Amino acid sequence: MTINIPKAWERRFKEKINCQSMNLPLKMWLSSFLRVLDKNTIILDSGCGTGEKAYYIYKRGLKVIGIDSSASAIAFAKKNIHGPEFFKKDCIRTGFKPNSFGAIVSIAVLHCFMKRERLKYIRELRRLLSPGGYLFVLVLSSDDTTKSREKEIEKGTFIQSNGIPFHLFTNEEIVSLFNNFKIIELKHHKKKTDKGVMACYTLIMS
Ligand SMILES: C[S@@+](CC[C@H](N)C(=O)[O-])C[C@H]1O[C@@H](n2cnc3c(N)ncnc32)[C@H](O)[C@@H]1O
């Protein structure tokens, strides 16, 4: 099954776009990652959406570039968020030179892809991360019950009514997917919400 994921996201942003508030646990997880980075590190926010996480990073005194395939999300970020640089780019084929970034954050992006894109995306992250650099990734876990699993389109990947897929990762899967990275920290988080249990993994890698 072929799905044009950037197109589905652009449709979604065209329908509704607003500032995404950042929840407290994510702020904590990110700030412990950011704390170890040198102030001159250039950080890529890969799949930055409307740019709030890039802004959070920028406010900590770090240099940040946000990229996203959605023209609407990037236009919104450029208009409303001042400090980081934003570019409309495909995060699977960025065109940046190898080793361009001392740190990369990828928040809730990898789980939006089908298997083929997931593999390509991870290869691109590896290519862009400079030796000794750090990568922060957040993805949904298979314990998450907040989304409908009615329509499975690939093993562990489901499609939502808006045409956007999501993949629910197991621990083994995430570890094997990042076998070209050194995993420094892998944490599983669970939180009860009114839509069910929100469950995700955060990883810090080099
Ligand atoms: C769940 S949102 C997360 C956005 C942001 N990281 C955040 O945490 O608010 C997923 C984002 O991935 C972007 N995206 C999907 N496919 C992409 C691609 N091929 N290249 C760049 N961005 C992509 C979407 O446009 C969307 O902004």
Please state the φ and ψ torsions of residue 77, each to the nearest 5 degrees. Answer: -65, -45
In a domain, 204, yes or no: yes
Per-residue DSSP letter, 180: T
* Structure tokens given for 206: 């080099």
In a domain, 17, yes or no: no
In a domain, 109, yes or no: yes
Angstrom distance (rounded) from CA 54 to CA 70: 16
Per the structure, the complete domain to which residue 64 belongs is given by: 41-89
Same domain? For 80 and 180 the reply is: no
Closest approach atom of ligand 1 to CA 49: 27
**Full-prediction pTM beyond 0.85?**
yes
Answer for the pair 111, 177: CB distance below 8 angstroms, yes or no: no
In a domain, 151, yes or no: yes
Q: What is the pLDDT of residue 20?
A: 76
Structural domain tally of the chain?
A: 2
Q: What is the pLDDT of residue 70?
A: 98
In a domain, 140, yes or no: yes
Angstrom distance (rounded) from CA 26 to CA 190: 12
Q: What is the pLDDT of residue 23?
A: 82
Angstrom distance (rounded) from CA 80 to CA 7: 23
Same domain? For 54 and 116 the reply is: no
The tens-digit pLDDT sequence of the chain (206 residues) is 789 999 999 999 999 988 777 787 999 999 999 998 999 999 999 999 999 999 999 999 999 999 999 999 999 999 999 999 999 999 999 999 999 999 999 999 999 999 999 999 999 999 999 999 999 999 999 999 999 999 999 999 999 999 999 999 999 999 999 999 999 999 999 999 999 999 999 999 99
**CA 101 to centroid of ligand 1, rounded, Å:** 19
Angstrom distance (rounded) from CA 142 to CA 144: 5
Sign, CA dihedral 51-131-176-34, equals: negative
Same domain? For 118 and 197 the reply is: yes
Angstrom distance (rounded) from CA 105 to CA 53: 9
Q: What is the CATH number of the domain that holds 118?
A: 3.40.50.150
Neighbouring C-beta atoms of residue 140, cutoff 10 Å? 20
Q: What is the CATH number of the domain that holds 57?
A: 3.40.50.720
Pocket of ligand 1, beta carbon within 6 A: 5-6, 9, 20, 47-49, 53, 68-70, 73, 90-92, 107-109, 112
